Structure 1
Amino acid sequence: MSGNAFLDGRRVSARDVIQAFLDEGHDAGVSQLRILLRDGSGDEVDELAGDALLAWPPRSRNLIDKVLCVVSEAALARLAARTVDVLEQAPPPDMRELCDLIIEAASLQIGPALQAHLGRLFALAPNRGHTCEDWPWRAAQAEDVAFLADQLVTQDPKQLRKAFDCLLETRRPDALALAIDAYPTMALRYPLPQLLRSVDHDGPGQPLYPGNCAHLIFPPNYIEEGSADPAPGAQHPSWTLPGDGALHRFGGVGSGTCGLCAGRLHHLVTLPEYAIFGMHGADASALSLEVCLSCLGWERGMLFYRHDHNGLAHALDHGAVIPKFPANPLAPTEVRLAPTPARWTWQSWDGGNLHRIGGPPVWIQHADYPDCPACARTMRFAMQLNSYLPTTDETEWWLWGSGGIGYVFQCHPCRTIAYFWQCT
């Protein structure tokens, strides 16, 4: 960002942005917000995360995520602490909605900063009833697990269930063990393995995703959202992370054949084996991730492939179908991998660049981990690709269903890869 943000020769401040929304309407506010996000200094942008943000008009709150992702972590932490104070004052519904948005963003981006407030958040329950309600507990430490254990003796069924859900959401081995011990007394409708998988685990200390995460960085103008300057203001930082230097083939026609429609597979990306299989992968070997986009999700909900030691894919699903929706290959290009900073390890569906390898998956619906067709073990999450990728037909974008996310899972011992997608 450059020095100061100016409009008609006058410096634009955070207060100016809010006042423009209030006095001049949405379009004027967007115009000034764009100037401040694009040209303001870090300190000027951080002012947006002060009390000014708490005055943001309700009808323009769809823009708040664009602010919260570019303010500094320190400014967001201060705002989150102020928000907890506001929640304790029983604010009116409009303010409560704004507070919910701030706590949701802080839970993803700066979770450890919420650790000091977990006891208060347990009682306040921002985002009550939504998927993100218990996200702050991912920051839990041993003393917070002890706090939740104390809640398990309550006679209030709602408080008991919340304590159980928060124990799961911590994903800590000690907390998951407590939840497993409490499960027989809970009379829950879902089986325990399903509840553990809902937080991406097979059991205590058994995460179903690799800890390391990297984003795919596309060349300029390949993806409209990730390479343009979206209004209003700056891009989400996950689109412009510094890459590792190496180029990896993306898109184009695959080398394998679909076992269902006999068409050529669609090439997604070729990566070093370790990027998909982790420490089990051979460092020097390349793995070509290919799938039939014409059949995936339409003819079969999930497709499986075995990879030979040359990294090439061989279909494990067989039949004789004529695809209802023949797909063109993704437009060929080359991508870089960018190690993901802690702030973007957790993301939501509308949280910037969702083309990523490793880390926890971004689910649109419920967590869904396939079993390996060869050994029946739970397959581990490997990577995901978002929608709106260009295809070889310049008039067409690739969508997973109605615009969801495509997921890739792996079983290293069997060299098996699984694909499926979710959408709304």
Structure 2
Amino acid sequence: MLGERLGAAVIVGDNRDTTGRESDVDSGEPVDRSGVTVGLRRAAEIWSALSARPFSAEETAALLPEPDDSATLVEIARLALRSDACATGPYLHAVLDRLPSSLLRELAERAVHRLTSGPNDAAAEILAYVSVHQAESLAAHLPSLWELSPSEGFYFAEWPWRVADESEIARLWERADPDDELRRERALRCLLQTRRPDVLARLSPAEDDLHSVGYTLGGGELRRLHSASPWHLAFPADLLRRWATRNPLRAHQSSWPVASQRDPQALTSGCIDLACPRCRKRLHRLLYLPSVPPDVGVTSRARVEFVWCAECGPYTEVSYVRHDADGAPADLAMTFVVDPPERQPGLEPADEAIPATGVELVRLEQRWWWQDWAISNDRENLHRVGGEPTWIQDPDYPSCPDCADTMIAAGQVNVADLWDFEGMCYLMWCDQCAISGVVYQQT
């Protein structure tokens, strides 16, 4: 059976502990004569089942251990690394979600070591995940990752270089050989990902490249387009349970805190009493902040309400809203990519959303400060105030319609959660003009 073959594959050569029992060459733990680590047989059984055939998210969630069983979880990942079989799939990132940061660091080191023996799908998946959620674990391995190129050709290939130190940055400049165009371009992409103003100034990148790392150039100076750390939205427990029924891998995902509901700090969804100038439908509330956090770049208003037209918004390049002195929406203007289709009178799209819901702003541990839409794969909480947007498509920071400055990212709302829809609404802001913008992206 597959499980027996994989269990036997754990043993390489004659590895025995002081009692004469065979031991796992990676963990050093004693194993029984069938080749399955004593006490970790369950991990081998789970891994064998998951890797034998595709499983639905519901089946995967039912198979995976809970986060407090980190020994079993980490052994599943180790088995994936040790196998020559294709060990990728939606389950592996779900396993990593449930592991503490200390074990992620250990797995990152194992993944780098495993790649020195040749390509390994599981190692590449682990490194992609770690490059998002715990890039500092890769800092010492950047020279090896340059040589191994585990994610060559993928959009996240250069992300580990977010944590490059001075010596690695110096090596990158040396690698930017003008006589080797491919090597030079790769080195420059890695330097761009350092996101350091001194490095960016020396690179003199195009505006689109600056936007890709959250910067713009105005008046000869670099300006950051988002805050360093986000606040995540915490939702009521009953709503989280409903969403976890639809997306089972969210059930033990630590980026989904539960709102206490004692003192909601924000409001999402529902409609406001302001009509879209085109379709005359009421505007849909994306997020109301009765007290704006101090570190998100919104200082000209003490409170602000981000809204859009759920009927027309998906067809726009950007929806602009001017805010009055109290931060309330005053009027809406839209720039369309295509004209929206005519719809019959009746139910307003925003009425199909969840009702107005009180939420809280929560600062999660640092591993969730930077997220990627594709890698999150509908498991992670992507509702945020501040922080870098988790772009579905290319980064898109619009210009303010009044002053023409590039707007900053103030947050984002995953509208797929609020109603039967797809995509993300990115909340933009011009502090000088008190104008918000909503950029909508979908797959």
TM-score by length of 1: 0.82
Corresponding residue for 1:106?
130
Deviations 1:149-193 (A, max 9, x none): 11123521111000111111111112212321xx6xxxxxxxx11
Equivalent of 1:388 in 416, 424, 438: 416
Compared CA separation, residues 36 and 195, structure 1 to 2 (3 A): closer
CA distance in 2 between counterparts of 1:323 and 1:367 reads 27
Q: Give how far 1:390 is off.
A: 4.1
Equivalent of 1:195 in 181, 205, 209: 209
Corresponding residue for 1:346?
370
The reply to whether residue 310 of structure 1 matches residue 338 of structure 2 is no
CA distance in 2 between counterparts of 1:107 and 1:348 reads 10
SS at match of 2:227: coil
The reply to whether residue 368 of structure 1 matches residue 368 of structure 2 is no
Q: Give how far 1:388 is off.
A: 2.4
CA distance in 1 between counterparts of 2:340 and 2:208 reads 34
Alpha carbons 1:407, 1:421 under 8 Å: kept? yes
SS at match of 1:133: coil
Corresponding residue for 1:252?
270
Identity %, equivalent residues: 28
SS at match of 2:317: coil
The reply to whether residue 269 of structure 1 matches residue 287 of structure 2 is yes
Compared CA separation, residues 194 and 372, structure 1 to 2 (3 A): same
**Range moving further from structure 2, 349-358 or 131-140:** 349-358
CA distance in 2 between counterparts of 1:295 and 1:101 reads 38
Compared CA separation, residues 243 and 143, structure 1 to 2 (3 A): farther
Structure 2 unaligned regions, length at least 5: 1-38
Compared CA separation, residues 80 and 90, structure 1 to 2 (3 A): same
The reply to whether residue 50 of structure 1 matches residue 64 of structure 2 is no
Q: Give how far 1:240 is off.
A: 2.4
Alpha carbons 2:402, 2:433 under 8 Å: kept? yes
Alpha carbons 2:124, 2:151 under 8 Å: kept? yes
Deviations 1:209-245 (A, max 9, x none): 1113011121123256744495468532111267796
Deviations 1:234-282 (A, max 9, x none): 5321112677963122211113222222332112221135238836536
Alpha carbons 1:302, 1:420 under 8 Å: kept? yes
**Range moving further from structure 2, 359-368 or 313-322:** 313-322
Q: Give how far 1:410 is off.
A: 0.2
Alpha carbons 2:416, 2:423 under 8 Å: kept? no
**Range moving further from structure 2, 50-59 or 171-180:** 50-59
CA distance in 2 between counterparts of 1:28 and 1:277 reads 40
Q: Give how far 1:375 is off.
A: 0.4
Q: Give how far 1:340 is off.
A: 2.6
Equivalent of 1:75 in 93, 98, 103: 103
Query: How many residues are paired up?
Result: 389
CA distance in 2 between counterparts of 1:338 and 1:378 reads 27
Q: Give how far 1:319 is off.
A: 10
Structure 1 unaligned regions, length at least 5: 1-9, 184-191, 392-396
Alpha carbons 2:177, 2:183 under 8 Å: kept? no
Q: Give how far 1:56 is off.
A: 8.3
Compared CA separation, residues 35 and 413, structure 1 to 2 (3 A): same
- Aligned amino acid, residue 156 of structure 1: D
Q: Give how far 1:130 is off.
A: 1.1
Compared CA separation, residues 279 and 33, structure 1 to 2 (3 A): closer
TM-score by length of 2: 0.79
Compared CA separation, residues 199 and 11, structure 1 to 2 (3 A): closer
CA distance in 2 between counterparts of 1:87 and 1:215 reads 35
CA distance in 2 between counterparts of 1:224 and 1:33 reads 14
Equivalent of 1:220 in 237, 242, 257: 237
Alpha carbons 2:276, 2:332 under 8 Å: kept? no
Equivalent of 1:286 in 281, 289, 303: 303
CA distance in 1 between counterparts of 2:433 and 2:224 reads 19
- Aligned amino acid, residue 129 of structure 2: A
Corresponding residue for 1:17?
46
Alpha carbons 2:244, 2:251 under 8 Å: kept? no
Compared CA separation, residues 131 and 237, structure 1 to 2 (3 A): same
CA distance in 2 between counterparts of 1:27 and 1:150 reads 46
**Range moving further from structure 2, 201-210 or 81-90:** 201-210
Alpha carbons 1:303, 1:317 under 8 Å: kept? yes
The within-5 A match list for 1:290-301 is: 290-298=307-315, 300-301=316-317
Compared CA separation, residues 46 and 319, structure 1 to 2 (3 A): closer
